[in-house]
């Protein structure tokens, strides 16, 4: 019955002639979850997107940190239950499914 209340991700690529920085902030609220994405390339103005998802669609949501933990547990047990499917959020911030 664990659930993610908030998660922050940041990625920075140092490419010539300019850097690319991506940030993702996810926060759970009363009605579901909001995902805010920011992309900045070099000195240009940051571009921002926001997505909101209903609580019903988020049931069983598995975000990146929880996914890594689950993979370690499955590796330790050396077994993956059949049809192990969770809702997750992809790198673009859209809701999708993750199958193990």
Please state the pTM of the whole predicted model: 0.69
The DSSP code sequence of 17-67 is S-EEEEEEEEEEETTEEEEEEEEEETTSPPEEEEEEEETGGGTT---HHHH
Residue pLDDT, tens place only, 44-87: 999 999 989 888 887 777 777 777 888 888 889 888 888 888 88
């Amino acid at each position: 019955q664990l659930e993610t209340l908030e998660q922050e991700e940041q990625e920075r690529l140092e490419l010539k002639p300019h850097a690319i920085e991506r940030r993702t902030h996810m926060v759970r609220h009363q009605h579901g979850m909001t995902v805010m994405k920011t992309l900045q390339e070099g000195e240009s103005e940051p571009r921002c997107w926001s997505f909101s998802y209903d609580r019903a669609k988020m049931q069983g949501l598995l975000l990146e940190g929880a996914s890594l933990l689950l993979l370690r547990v499955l590796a330790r047990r050396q077994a993956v239950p059949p049809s192990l499917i969770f809702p997750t959020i992809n790198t673009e911030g859209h809701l999708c499914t993750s199958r193990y």
